[in-house]
Structure 1
Amino acid sequence: MINNIDFMNYNLINGKAISNEELEQLSNSNEKFFLKVFYEKPETIFKFFPNTLTFNKEINKDINYSQLALKTNDIYLSNPSNFNDPYDCGIYINREKHWNYFINYYARLMGIENKDNSKELLIEKLKKFFDKTLDIETSINFNYCHTEEERLRLSIFIYKVRNYSFEKVPVPDKICYGILKALNDDFLEKKNNLTDKFLVSCLTTEKDNILMWSHYANNHKGFCIEYDLSEAKNNYLKLNEEEKNTFNNLFPVVYSENRKEIINYNFNGDTFLSWYLLGLLRKYHVWSYEKEWRLALLKQEYPDQIIKFFPIKAVYCGCKMSKEEIEKIEEIIREKNIDLFISKIEEDSYKLKFELNKDAKFN
């Protein structure tokens, strides 16, 4: 039972408890993690739709994007900043550790030794650099930078410190103020990195959860689409590159008690999985009833925020959907190999039952 899990020591992934130690081991091995997820991917997966109209300013017309998704078999990818959970897709970075890390980082790029690892000493040395330097365009020494990225980061940091130190603020030490402001920019940049880089679509392994219908299907007036993953899972090598990318980036959410702190602050290939696991895929365990899987893709690769998804197997209409709306769904799936179910309220329990609408399928 989910309620009996000790979330201080265990996490919930795809309905299974996994200890903090096991999760840490998986996080440290891309291959093990991806293999585990691959074999545990479900045969079918569900997504809820509100079936409501949204005004499109570009064409000056109301559009039912839920029904459009049913027609085109596309899935819309959302910006995580729009999610209802304020912690969703966020990461935890300790501000003090972050500042210490980057003070040492920029000091190294400037050739400043820090044998005692003293933040105050480093700030004083940085202050002396800015006190003596009038024309920073010609005085930056890039000899300690090993890559073009480091050269760029050092330049930006130095210019930010100088510009912030010119602000009209009532502080006794303008350069120290500029350093801390520049470091805080780095902090906020890292903190918002996932939100800026990724697009997400939320799916689930359950179609009969009453809360899901209430929250994501317009209080049971919407519908739920069942997508068939069986062919992709069983014949993975036959998929094209786009299909493989979609399948590979479908992951179960990790439900936990505590937020895990990011240790490595640089976003690169080596730390990608850690950011992915600790941010995009991690949620507080009170959301575990959703049994969520996430499709997460890089924003730069999908500027239209739409992706073609796997075949539709069935559609489930909410128990409060009007007859007129049901008929619209019937018309959309006419002559397609898609089953249509109508949800009904059980009389003797708090459960939904789904009855097959045989008239909706004509092939």
Structure 2
Amino acid sequence: MIIDEIKDFKDFGKVISYLSQIAPFLCMINMMPANINEIKKMGCQEYSLQTRKIMPKKLYKYFPNTIEEKTKANYSIQALRDNTVYMQTPNNFDDVYDSDINIDFEKYQKLRLIEYCSRCGIEVDKTLSMQEIGNIFLNVIYTSFKNFNDSRNAFIQKPDSEIKQLSNELFCTRLEINLRENNNDLGIAIGKTIFDEFNEFNDRLKNTFRVTCFATTPYSQLMWGGAYADCHRGFCLEYEILPNEEKYQEIYQNLYPMIYCKIRPDITERLIKIQDERMNKEALWNIYFHGALRKSIDWAFQNEWRLLLPMEKNQEASKYCMPFFPITKVYLGNRMPPIKRKEIIDICNEKNIPYIGVKRKSNVFEMEDCAIKCEECFKYKNDLHK
């Protein structure tokens, strides 16, 4: 029996990791086991509908309360004062797989060559190897250079959209640059051009949306103890979810629980079809479902919910700050210095937001609320005036 084999495991993470090894279809959503194959069948609308039913009444966000070196701004204080959350690009998250769309380069290269052959009026056998298809395309481009001293004449099929026309132009321009940089070796130049497209496409997919993350408890030692809350020196904000209020509908409908699983999906073929098309709702959901909402089951302890919003790159930083649900409580970190603690308390009093300190339990390895308020604590008052 499975239970007999895992009865010695004391750590939740080890239990989940073990189960995922023997049942790779297992996933965790909001701390509940699910079948990833069943989740895949849902689609955006059904997944959203089902997850509204299990959304917590409160969500929490941990803040380090530190000054950002580059901008010299304290975005933690800003989030408390303005009741906003900052929509981040996932490129700098602590999980290297986070929001990374799994596109296989070898498969991408072959599919892209098939597409370009089609635009040159050649329908190739898809069972051919990538090398064979590459040679067919190379010969077409070589003939165009030989007869017209240009690669553009190879693309004889009239594009069915302006985007595809621009895509052809961009390919030819990149090819000319790579030819000059690679001693006019056409094979190397084509390969380098496809690789450049691959990197650009990956970057574009990641910058299609922005994200901010939430927890479901204010007592997570792992969240308090890491960079999220500067090793207990930061604070945690509690938000009340108001599903029926009209002004919060956009953020409410774009909140999703993370899917923690073992296997990374390969959606190369599905995404490459929309590379030269305008982003639609189905394509965006593929990016969300297979990337931004998918993490290794090793992270299941975080039980994370995410706000995902389609956002353009290179906007002013202020435009990435989104108004969020009302703040209903502030939890002060166990190691927060007295001066910073006073600053947060003053803001809470000014905005009429309840607050409480978080301390260690004496008999178990857990965090809990302080029994008294900071202003009534002798230690706090004494440390504040040192």
For the criterion TM > 0.5, the same-fold answer is yes
Q: Identity of counterpart residues, as a percentage?
A: 26
Match of residue 258 from structure 1: 263
Kindly state the Cα deviation for residue 19 of structure 1 after the two structures are TM-superposed.
1.0
Aligned mates of 2:122, 2:266 — CA distance in 1: 28
Pairing partner for 2:339 from 316, 321, 324:
324
Native 8 Å contact 2:155 2:168 kept in 1: no
Kindly state the Cα deviation for residue 355 of structure 1 after the two structures are TM-superposed.
2.9
Pairing partner for 2:31 from 15, 20, 25:
15
TM-score by length of 1: 0.87
Aligned mates of 1:111, 1:356 — CA distance in 2: 76
1:1-363 equivalence runs, <5 A: 3-5=14-16, 6-7=19-20, 8-26=24-42, 29-55=43-69, 57=71, 62-115=72-125, 117-118=127-128, 119-133=130-144, 134-136=148-150, 139=153, 141-168=155-182, 174-215=185-226, 216-229=228-241, 231=242, 233=243, 235=244, 238-240=245-247, 243-262=248-267, 263-264=269-270, 265=272, 266=274, 268-269=279-280, 270-300=282-312, 303-304=316-317, 305-355=320-370
The one-letter amino acid of 2:212's match is S
The one-letter amino acid of 1:185's match is D
Native 8 Å contact 1:345 1:352 kept in 2: yes
Aligned mates of 1:194, 1:139 — CA distance in 2: 30
Q: Structure 1, residues 277-327: CA drift from partner, whole Å, max 9, x if none?
A: 111111111111111111122232864221111100000001112333222
Kindly state the Cα deviation for residue 82 of structure 1 after the two structures are TM-superposed.
1.4
Q: 1:357 to 1:152 in 2, by over 3 A?
A: farther
Aligned mates of 1:22, 1:203 — CA distance in 2: 25
Native 8 Å contact 2:83 2:326 kept in 1: yes
Aligned mates of 2:152, 2:204 — CA distance in 1: 32
Match of residue 380 from structure 2: none
Aligned mates of 1:328, 1:15 — CA distance in 2: 35
Kindly state the Cα deviation for residue 95 of structure 1 after the two structures are TM-superposed.
1.6
The one-letter amino acid of 2:97's match is Y
The one-letter amino acid of 1:290's match is Q
Compute the RMSD of aligned alpha carbons: 2.4
Kindly state the Cα deviation for residue 343 of structure 1 after the two structures are TM-superposed.
0.8
Q: 1:56 to 1:107 in 2, by over 3 A?
A: closer
**SS of aligned partner of 2:106:** helix
Q: Structure 1, residues 119-140: CA drift from partner, whole Å, max 9, x if none?
A: 4443333223332323438735
Q: 1:40 to 1:155 in 2, by over 3 A?
A: same
Q: Which runs of 5+ in 1 are unaligned?
A: none
Higher alpha-carbon deviation: 209-218 or 347-356: 347-356
Q: 1:55 to 1:103 in 2, by over 3 A?
A: closer
Kindly state the Cα deviation for residue 354 of structure 1 after the two structures are TM-superposed.
0.5
Kindly state the Cα deviation for residue 141 of structure 1 after the two structures are TM-superposed.
4.2
**SS of aligned partner of 1:255:** strand
Native 8 Å contact 1:130 1:162 kept in 2: no
Native 8 Å contact 1:75 1:308 kept in 2: yes
**SS of aligned partner of 1:54:** coil
The one-letter amino acid of 2:309's match is L
Native 8 Å contact 1:110 1:144 kept in 2: no
**SS of aligned partner of 2:210:** strand
Give the structure with the higher percent strand. Answer: 1
Native 8 Å contact 1:253 1:281 kept in 2: yes
Aligned mates of 2:322, 2:371 — CA distance in 1: 29
Native 8 Å contact 1:251 1:281 kept in 2: yes
Count of aligned pairs between the two proteins: 344
Aligned mates of 1:79, 1:71 — CA distance in 2: 22
Native 8 Å contact 2:210 2:311 kept in 1: yes
Q: 1:115 to 1:352 in 2, by over 3 A?
A: closer
Q: Which runs of 5+ in 2 are unaligned?
A: 1-11, 376-386
Aligned mates of 2:93, 2:367 — CA distance in 1: 26
